[in-house]
Amino acid sequence: MTVESALRGAAPHLLLDSLRTSLAQQYAASSADLLLIDYGQTSLRAVEPVQAPAVVRHGRVDTGPAGRVFRTQQPYLFHGDGPTATAYLPVTVRGDRFGVLVVVLPAGRATPESAESLGRVAEGLGHALRVADRHTDLYRSTRRARALSVEGEMQWNTLPGRACAGPAFDLHAHWEPAYTSGGHVLDWSVTEDTLLIAVADGAGPGTSAALVSTLALNAVRNARRAGLDLVGQASLTDQALYGQYRGTSPLAALLLNLALATGEIDVVDAGSPTVWRTRAGVTERVALDRQLPLGMFEDTVYTTQSLRLLPGDRLVIVACDRGEQPPGGEDETSDGPVARALAPTGGLSGADLPGAVVATLRAGPGEVPDAVLVICLDWYGPEPERREAARGAGPRQPLPGPAHHGGHP
């Protein structure tokens, strides 16, 4: 039985136990541990298998070989002076980073071929985790460095994740506070031709905000899955919020539909979060005509606007109660808080940018926003050559073979 078959047949809470048994049989691995990223993305936390305790313990994401592999998404093989080698492998599915698989195996078995095979095992583990997570609390409990608030629990049960990737794009998101906020609205849907994104400013702290956000998120999904266009999605969500709250809990939102082959974007800006575009190294705010927030008045009529991305463009969407003034406001200048937070991020990857911007906004002078949500969208265009050039990494390299020696990074 292959490792992948063993994972598919394992009980949801026994994935790691099944994986350990299979790796011992097929790779002579002496141990295998799974480290999952916590909700705040600050630490990697070991899943405790049923049959034996984890060998690798919790560690910070900014230190050690496991942290480096998580940050860079490049596998690492450590050969010490002893008879074993340790493989650190990113566990990632369609751009969404779950954690790191750590496998200890005989040094003689640490060949480029086995390393490449273990990389496929880590990818298969990620897909298995996605399914198993619906049927057990083990993995969600592992990811908690501390208890979630009720509204935080509601939010994590509704949002789609932190990242999504396709041949033409990478999408990454980060929000804070991760453990107590329940007001964020974020959703996406991908087809062969389009990427649809919905994002809204936080509705405030507490369970009441989480209820507003949950209603809005499910209304958007309901409209989208019924085949409605962006205007229809905005209108249905507007009616749902107004019908429930009669204008007392409006939600500033942004709905986008990106044509993946052309870069054309249709936008419904309902009093939205701010949108920024980086093109050829220059970052500037995208001017949009803001319409009324969702749920403010009955039967609001919404219209779409159009944008055009070029291959290599980056869009950053920032949703927080500290954002820029509306168009025409007194503080629509390059020295606004969001512009200052974006200024030093030009060299960051799409995965690292959202967290850096969130940290800057929440640490800046003045009133700290209750909640911040940042989304980074890199669009590479339809040609594979342009995509690889924009990503700047080229084809993924296999783990180094046994000739590689060195200390932990």
For 328-393, the DSSP string reads: TSTT-STTSHHHHHHGGGTTS-TTTHHHHHHHHHHHSSSPPPS-EEEEEEEE--S-HHHHHHHHSS
Q: What mean pLDDT comes out for the span 160-181?
A: 94
Domain ranges of the chain: 3-141, 147-391
Q: What mean pLDDT comes out for the span 314-341?
A: 67
Banded model confidence at residue 214, pLDDT cuts 50, 70, 90:
very high
Instruction: Please name the fold of domain 3-141.
Output: Beta-Lactamase (3.30.450)
Q: What is the pLDDT of residue 395?
A: 34
177 upstream amide cis, omega within 30 of 0 = yes
**Residues 78, 92 contacting (CB under 8 angstroms):** no
- Which residue type is seen at 59? G
81: left (phi over 0), alpha (psi -120 to 50) or beta: alpha
What percent of the chain is predicted at pLDDT more than 90? 77
Position 332 pLDDT exceeds 50: no
Query: At the fourth CATH level, which superfamily is domain 147-391?
Result: PPM-type phosphatase domain (3.60.40.10)
Q: What is the pLDDT of residue 387?
A: 59
Strand-pair partners of 106: 84
For residue range 45-86, what is the model confidence (pLDDT) as tens digits? 999 988 777 787 788 999 999 999 999 999 999 988 899 999
Q: What is the pLDDT of residue 386?
A: 59
Banded model confidence at residue 172, pLDDT cuts 50, 70, 90:
very high
**Residues 364, 376 contacting (CB under 8 angstroms):** no
Please compute, for residue 97, the number of CA atoms within 13 A of its CA located in the half-sphere on the CB side.
30
Position 321 pLDDT exceeds 80: no
Q: Is the pLDDT higher at 325 or at 249? A: 249
Strand residues in 286-334 grouped as ranges (E): 305-308, 314-320
Angstrom CA distances, 336 to 52, 202, 291, 322, stand at 53, 20, 22, 10
Q: What mean pLDDT comes out for the span 238-257?
A: 97
In the DSSP assignment, the letter for residue 151 is H
Strand-pair partners of 25: none
Mean pLDDT of the chain: 89
Q: Is the pLDDT higher at 302 or at 407? A: 302
In the DSSP assignment, the letter for residue 178 is T
Angle, helices 112-132/15-27, rounded to nearest 10 degrees: 160
Q: What mean pLDDT comes out for the span 103-116?
A: 92
Number of H helices, E strands in the chain: 11, 17
Q: What mean pLDDT comes out for the span 121-142?
A: 96
Position 127 pLDDT exceeds 80: yes
Residue (of 186, 112, 184, 97) closest to 143 by Cα position: 97
Q: What are phi and psi of 50, to 5 degrees?
A: -75, -40
The runs of H, that is alpha helices, within 204-281 are 207-225, 230-245
Position 101 pLDDT exceeds 50: yes
Instruction: Please state whether the predicted TM-score (pTM) of the whole model is above 0.85.
Output: yes
Residue (of 113, 108, 105) closest to 27 by Cα position: 105
For residue range 356-398, what is the model confidence (pLDDT) as tens digits? 999 999 887 766 677 899 999 999 998 756 555 555 443 334 3
Q: For the CA atoms of 152, 157, 160, 162, what is the dihedral angle to 10 degrees?
A: 40
Q: What mean pLDDT comes out for the span 10-16?
A: 96
Banded model confidence at residue 22, pLDDT cuts 50, 70, 90:
very high
Q: What is the pLDDT of residue 404?
A: 37
d(CA 319, CA 271): 11
d(CA 409, CA 406): 8
d(CA 292, CA 45): 43
